[in-house]
Chains A and B, each alone.
Chain A
Amino acid sequence: MLKNNTLVGWLMAGPIMAVLLFFLVLPIVMIVVVSFWRATEFSIIPAFVWENYEFLFGSNVTYRVFFNTFKYAAITWAFTLTIGFTVAYFLAFHVRTLTWQIVLFLLCTIPFWTSNIIRMISWIPFLGRNGIANSTLISWGVIDEPLDWLLFSDFAVILAFVHLYTLFMVVPIFNTMMRIDKSLIEAARDAGASGAQILWNVIIPLTKPGIMIGTIFVVTLVMGDFITVRFMSGSQSANVGRLISNDIALLAYPSASATAVVLLLTVLIVIGILLRFVDIRKEL
């Protein structure tokens, strides 16, 4: 009977395993394999050489670009966390009725009904030298000269990232906050805790899994992005995604694969470290 149960278990897990095997594991294995191949300008030659990795680790551009990628991820994470946590806190604890919670939550998702690219590109006319932001500031007399750093700068890149990805922080944090037993907060208050103490000692520890899931979303999305960086920096900044896309444009698939493998490992290490802090499985 027990044996039969195991079989049924495997059968039930079978379809998802097959899907993951074909669409996740196999492509990644392929990328790893190709990263050891050689390429000339026109052809890709199956081989086992380390030259793609040697070039990658031998060039200081790689280190600078990886640093840049981490920089974008860290700053974006800090902003999305602050904003996301605040919004979720407001929705979960300040809005009293479930109806209004749902209405306001849906309101947050409205911008996501259009595509990522559209939402990103619409910043360009807004932030431009003669854009709405600059002309408004000038008409208010705040500045005399248009601010050039608003567009095609790291500022623009991070602004777009924060705009694009904050919802990925709001949703999981809001979700965990809604599960917090309200009597815990009442108990804390009865025990004489101040608002700040409740926030720090009760709410934040209990929302950690949500924060962690949001963090994983934001960090992986930012580290894997290339199009936002290209458009918002006016092609002037690079992150790892752009290195890969440049390589692909030039048919250097092995070199692109090697960069992708290194990026994948880096992201996995980051997530591994994050998971040391919170056991998502236990707390879900």
Chain B
Amino acid sequence: MTKISRRNVLKGGAAFAAGTTLGAPMIWAQNIKDVTLRQFGTGVSNLNDVANKVKEDLGFTLEMTALDSDSVTQRAATQPGSFDIADIEYWICKKVWPTGNLQAMDTSKIKNYDKIVGIFRNGKLTPDSTIAQGTAPHTVGFVEGPDGKGFVDNESGWMTLIPTIYNADTLGIRPDLIGRPISNWSELLNPEFKGKASILDISSIGIMDMAMVVESMGEYKYPDKGNMTREEIDLTMAIFTEAKKNGQFRAFWKSFDESVNLMASGEVVIQSMWSPAITAVKSKGVPCVYQPLEEGYRSWGGGIGLSAALTGLERDAAYEYINWYLDGWVGGYLMRQGYYSAVPETSKNYMSENEWGYWFEGKEATDVITSPTGDALAQAGEVRDGGSFEDRMGAVACWNAVMDENQYMVRKWNEFIAA
């Protein structure tokens, strides 16, 4: 790790002076190569390929640490000195921002800011879309100024996280083992799939999937799924505890790999799942569908935040990294895994026409679609589950969220697991 020593800052300053006198557009100097930025986050975007490409394109070193959502939240909240860049989800940001461990970012330094999709700016994908329940990214995306503590509801020019990756999640199914169309969240608790269903054991996300199911069953309509009252939590848990006792669930999963194994082995035929897990099952040659459902998707978004302690050359490098991130290479890489990039139009430059058509526009593939590791995911003529970007992100019913009654919910969740 490179400490921000006085010498480094002085060198940075000197480089900056040299850069400006020579009329160079950036502060780029030899010593940027000495910079090491420590990034940590959930596994989805902490990819070694990204770190390698950063070294190649920008010259500095990015150290990646991948953790699960709970650990990420903890670390961002309690160990501000342990990271320079936090790659976190928006609901985590809502929990972590009040601790003051992150600093707001100046959007005027973000080259592609104007091209970032509306979801992260004013909350609207298109001017007439409605904003879904839960912790919608734009509600925790801006603060009033560089030292802002509270979130504001307009594009203030100071962002908490620069959005990088997001998706619309739904249930994954094994079409070959189910053999009939699935179109509602309520199917998760359908007795037909007794002993063959699963839900994820990560409370903050699992509770949202539960809420989608409860609403779909017609048991209850939540005023806000993303912020339940104690009574609503009890009611939701009661329905799922009963299902658990009746043997509805085969297992619960906590890690990505577990969800892949459950599905690929046929232990489970319907479960909460993440997009790349579907990709992983398919690349084993096992049919698996990320089933679009009538009630809509449960969506999530992640972004990059800067540690409050980051200053000087390191901070400049971090801004450079963010600009590079939104410039398209990473976007293309992520979109080939089924995620979306915050600035889709730049990613297009890094994808083939066939890939762009399949992943983003929901068109029929004109040729084989392969995963980043080279496995065939779709043949010519197939279309993406759920269709185009607008179809999928336009049908978001709720965002991953953190509730006011979070601690109560977590306790109830533990009871559910122990029941």
Chain A residues within CB distance 8 Å of chain B = 41-43, 59, 61, 64-65, 68, 124-125, 128-131, 148, 151-152, 230, 233-238, 242-243, 246, 249-251
Q: What residues of B have a CB within 8 angstroms of the CB of A233 in the complex? A: 251
Q: Within the complex, which residue of B254, B265, B414, B417 is in contact with A125, where a contact is CB–CB below 8 Å?
A: B265
CB of B70 within 8 A of chain A? yes
Nearest neighbor of A130 in chain B, beta-carbon distance: B266
Inter-chain contact A236/B414, CB cutoff 8 Å = no
Inter-chain contact B95/A41, CB cutoff 8 Å = yes
Q: 6 A-B pairs, CB-CB below 8 angstroms?
A: A41-B77, A42-B95, A148-B195, A230-B254, A234-B198, A250-B410
Inter-chain contact B250/A250, CB cutoff 8 Å = no
CB of B234 within 8 A of chain A? no
Q: Within the complex, which residue of B78, B195, B254 is in contact with A251, where a contact is CB–CB below 8 Å?
A: B78
CB distance from B295 to the nearest CB of A (A): 26
CB distance from B403 to the nearest CB of A (A): 11
CB of B1 within 8 A of chain A? no
CB distance from B260 to the nearest CB of A (A): 13
Q: Within the complex, which residue of B70, B71, B267 is in contact with A128, where a contact is CB–CB below 8 Å?
A: B267
Most A C-beta atoms less than 10 A away, residue of B249, B254, B417, B418: B418
CB distance from A229 to the nearest CB of B (A): 11
CB of B253 within 8 A of chain A? yes
CB distance from A55 to the nearest CB of B (A): 8
Rounded to whole angstroms, the CA-CA distance of A249 and B74 in the bound complex is 8
B interface, by DSSP: helix, strand, loop or mixed?
Answer: helix
- Known A-B contacts A41-B406, A64-B418, A243-B414; the reply to A235 vs B253 at CB < 8 A is yes
Q: What residues of B have a CB within 8 angstroms of the CB of A130 in the complex? A: 265-266
Within B31-47, which residues are at the interface with A (CB < 8 Å)? none
Inter-chain contact B78/A42, CB cutoff 8 Å = yes
Rounded to whole angstroms, the CA-CA distance of A182 and B415 in the bound complex is 55
Contact-residue bracket for chain B: 20 to 34
Given contacts A148-B250, A236-B417, A238-B418, 18 further A-B contacts (CB under 8 A): A42-B77, A61-B415, A61-B419, A124-B261, A128-B267, A130-B265, A151-B267, A152-B250, A235-B201, A235-B252, A235-B417, A236-B249, A236-B251, A242-B418, A243-B414, A243-B418, A246-B417, A249-B70
Most A C-beta atoms less than 10 A away, residue of B78, B99, B198, B417: B417
Rounded to whole angstroms, the CA-CA distance of A230 and B251 in the bound complex is 10
CB of B407 within 8 A of chain A? yes
A interface, by DSSP: helix, strand, loop or mixed?
Answer: loop
Rounded to whole angstroms, the CA-CA distance of A148 and B195 in the bound complex is 8
CB distance from A141 to the nearest CB of B (A): 22
**Contact indicator per residue, chain B 243-256, by CB within 8 Å of chain A (1) or not (0):** 01000011111100
Q: What residues of B have a CB within 8 angstroms of the CB of A238 in the complex? A: 414, 417-418
Inter-chain contact A235/B267, CB cutoff 8 Å = no
Rounded to whole angstroms, the CA-CA distance of A42 and B402 in the bound complex is 14
CB distance from B200 to the nearest CB of A (A): 9
Most B C-beta atoms less than 10 A away, residue of A131, A234, A237: A234
Inter-chain contact A129/B266, CB cutoff 8 Å = yes
Q: What residues of B have a CB within 8 angstroms of the CB of A68 in the complex? A: 418
Rounded to whole angstroms, the CA-CA distance of A79 and B250 in the bound complex is 26
Rounded to whole angstroms, the CA-CA distance of A129 and B73 in the bound complex is 36
Rounded to whole angstroms, the CA-CA distance of A41 and B99 in the bound complex is 11
Within B48-79, which residues are at the interface with A (CB < 8 Å)? 68, 70-71, 73-74, 77-78
Inter-chain contact B252/A236, CB cutoff 8 Å = yes
Q: What residues of A have a CB within 8 angstroms of the CB of B99 in the complex? A: 42
Inter-chain contact B74/A251, CB cutoff 8 Å = yes
Nearest neighbor of B78 in chain A, beta-carbon distance: A42
- Known A-B contacts A41-B406, A152-B251, A249-B70; the reply to A129 vs B414 at CB < 8 A is no
Inter-chain contact A234/B250, CB cutoff 8 Å = yes
